[in-house]
Structure 1
Amino acid sequence: MTDDLIETQTPARRITDPAEALAALERAVPGLLHHRRSEPAVLDWPLVEEGLGTALPADYKDLAQWYPAFTLGNYLLVGLPGPGEELQLLRDTHSTLEVLVDAWLEPELGLQAHPVVGGLLPWAESDESDKFMWSTAGASPQEWRVTVAGRGGAWWHYEGGAVQFLAELCDGTLEPWGLRVVGPEVTVW
């Protein structure tokens, strides 16, 4: 990948503990707590990960176990599986990967879609079709960074996990380069 063509934002400190990342998101989006499950959902992660051909980051799995799918700021759609919805998540992810390959990936940037090693794997999108993905390079999914593809053509990286990205996007720590400003309003699906 030609990283010198894509700008990168780096958090002051990368949060590696899933519970700490989730707590940061709950502080940034206080209304999210009203939708937290009383017990973590039991999800068939082996089914999802086998269907994707890769393990997923622990912070994302933790978020999905505690929360249903939601929208932030009437803009950013975080599609999380609920119990029994794992196959739908796989179908949606594969569909989005097809769209990435057909219409989004820019050859001059050297970007490729998953399952290519280091390829992009989508985890959220906006109501304006902005894409939020993991760059799947690294020894483990906990090392993956977020890659953003703005509908207007802006591509950029964030050197942190998905949940920390959401927290910092909502609390204003992160520059929204090419995206709408995302407020802390939350709507569950």
Structure 2
Amino acid sequence: MEEELIGTQKPVHRIPGPGEAIAVLERVVPGLVGIRRQEPAVYDWRAVEERLGTALPSDFKSLAEWYPAFELDDFLGLCVPWPGREGRWAKGREKELEGGEDAGPTELRPAELASTSFITWGDSKEGDQFLWSVLGDDPEHWPVTICSRNGPWWHYEGGMVQFLAELCDGTLEPWALPPVKPEVTGWGMAGGGWHVTA
């Protein structure tokens, strides 16, 4: 059975800069401020991007610098590298781009996306995947692609941080996803585990 691409959602106004997008996400999900780092983490993004053979979206890099991996509404978890372990994160994404065993949602993808490469930036406890469709050389314009566990695939044409804000504030139609409350329910810790809120 072939899955279907059910459509594309576009923001009414695309947020141009990563700082502004993060500020909007913090307003929508106030609990984020409590886990924000006092200083941005230092990543070797150049080495990560050289390994991947592509740059990464600036809103993602800024979010990773200011926040550990976190989970929203006990549902959607972000896949961001831990500072100093970005090589491990890049290795997993490299396998996706090469179509290896960690290649993400390569089976049963819609015909329109048969030759598209993806990079995963999040997933859900229910098996949904949140990706970038690697289309073109400018990651600032890569669409966010959602691979629902229920079968439908869809795109969002804003950045991933804006996607999170609009998913949590109800601006987006959640097509094949449950509504996501603007609550931080867990975040990554230095030992690799998760701190879970009560």
1:135-189 superposed Cα distances (whole Å, 9 cap, x missing partner): 1224411111101000110100001110000010011111111012111111212
**Cα drift, residue 94 of structure 1:** 4.2
In structure 1, the partner of 2:9 is 9
Matches within 5 A, 1:1-189: 5-94=5-94, 98-100=101-103, 103-106=106-109, 108-113=111-116, 119-186=117-184, 187-189=186-188
Distance in 2, Cα, partners of 1:95 & 1:110: 18
Q: Does the 8 Å contact 1:112/1:120 carry over to 2? A: no
TM-score (norm 2): 0.84
Q: Does the 8 Å contact 1:40/1:65 carry over to 2? A: yes
Distance in 2, Cα, partners of 1:53 & 1:156: 25
Distance in 2, Cα, partners of 1:25 & 1:101: 26
Q: Secondary structure at the match of 1:104?
A: coil
Once superposed, what is the RMSD of the aligned Cα atoms?
Answer: 2.0
TM-score (norm 1): 0.88
**Cα drift, residue 15 of structure 1:** 1.0
**Amino acid in the other structure paired with 1:166:** L
1:34-76 superposed Cα distances (whole Å, 9 cap, x missing partner): 0001111001101211121110000000000000000111010
**Cα drift, residue 103 of structure 1:** 4.9
Distance in 1, Cα, partners of 2:123 & 2:10: 21
Q: Which region of structure 1 is more displaced relative to structure 2, 120-129 or 96-105? A: 96-105
Q: Which region of structure 1 is more displaced relative to structure 2, 91-100 or 21-30? A: 91-100
- The 1:170–1:104 alpha-carbon spacing in structure 2 relative to 1, beyond 3 Å, is farther
Q: What percent identity do the matched residue pairs reach? A: 52
Q: Which runs of 5+ in 2 are unaligned?
A: 189-198
Distance in 2, Cα, partners of 1:141 & 1:152: 27
In structure 2, the partner of 1:116 is none
**Cα drift, residue 109 of structure 1:** 3.0
Q: Does the 8 Å contact 1:16/1:142 carry over to 2? A: no
Distance in 2, Cα, partners of 1:102 & 1:127: 15
Q: Which runs of 5+ in 1 are unaligned?
A: 114-118
Q: Which region of structure 1 is more displaced relative to structure 2, 81-90 or 64-73? A: 81-90
1:3-30 superposed Cα distances (whole Å, 9 cap, x missing partner): x954011110111210011011111110
**Cα drift, residue 106 of structure 1:** 1.9
